[in-house]
Amino acid sequence: MTNQLTIADQTFSSRLIVGSARFPDPETMRKALRASGAEVVTVAIRRANLAGDSGEDILSYIEDDDYFLLPNTAGCYTAKEAVTTAHLAREVLGTNWVKLEVIGDDDTLFPDVPELLKAAEQLLLDDFVVLPYANDDPITCRKLADMGCAAVMPLGAPIGSGMGIRNPYNLRIIREQVEVPVIVDAGVGTASDAAIAMELGMDAVLMNSAISQAKHPVKMAEAMKKGIEGGRLAFEAGRMPRRLYAEASSPMEGRIEVGGTEE
């Protein structure tokens, strides 16, 4: 194992990817991003100020700190919308990387799998590095990896729910069945959730609301950084086997005999 995360042709020291939305204010966002130690920051292109006018531009706060920008297609409900948004991001930001989101409805924010697969196929043909947000479904993730996506990003729980890792078994299957990085995206609520994801063998965790909606976003960002690091280290160390019954930590051999038989 290595402490570095490699996706396509890029290598990063941090395994935490952070979104830039829903912070109380841009300065809190900036401080939280710095506290997180993240190198990759996602930007929702449909919500970003790309016009360069005199209004407050979130992108300027991010670009000043030289993060690797990962535009996403949040808010897209069809393959056509997502592909168009990705092309806009490439033109404006000069990157062919995209976090691909194609949402099915407003209530669950679950991916629309047929539209997601259609958009991924088209973007790969258009020479994008595609990181798709997907259900925690091994079949879908395997299809996305097999078609050439640089990573797969199964959800841990619904977007913004903070419910944590609800289906660790599927995530483990996905990790075993695909050869590209597996990044848990959505559902993380606190540092222990991030640690669990890493202990399962995930390559990274992407989060936004867990930090931006915390009472103290900067403190939570630091907690997430430590949770990711601790979880990854625990995974590399290899946990002890689970046992149904107790097993003494001290050896049974060579014990001192206390007392004896009376004559």
Catalytic residue numbers? 99
Q: Would the annotation count 209 as a binding residue?
A: yes
Name which of 4, 5, 3, 31 is nearest 182 in CA terms.
5
CA-CA distance, 44 to 150, in Å (whole number)? 19
User: H helices within the chain, ranges in order?
Assistant: 26-36, 58-63, 79-93, 113-125, 138-147, 168-177, 191-199, 209-212, 217-237
Q: Would the annotation count 187 as a binding residue?
A: yes
- 222 close to 31: Cβ distance less than 8 angstroms: no
Residues 6 or more apart from 13 whose CB is under 8 A from it?
Answer: 3, 4, 5, 39
Q: Would the annotation count 254 as a binding residue?
A: no
- 33 close to 218: Cβ distance less than 8 angstroms: no
The secondary structure of residue 40, as a DSSP letter, is E
Tokens of 254: 């060579």
Distance of CA 219 to CAs 190, 226, 247, Å?
11, 11, 39
CB atoms within 10 A of CB 31: 15
φ and ψ of 167, to 5 deg:
-135, 75
Question: Residue holding tokens 């290595």?
Answer: 2
- Residues in binding site for 1-deoxy-D-xylulose 5-phosphate: 160, 186-187, 208-209
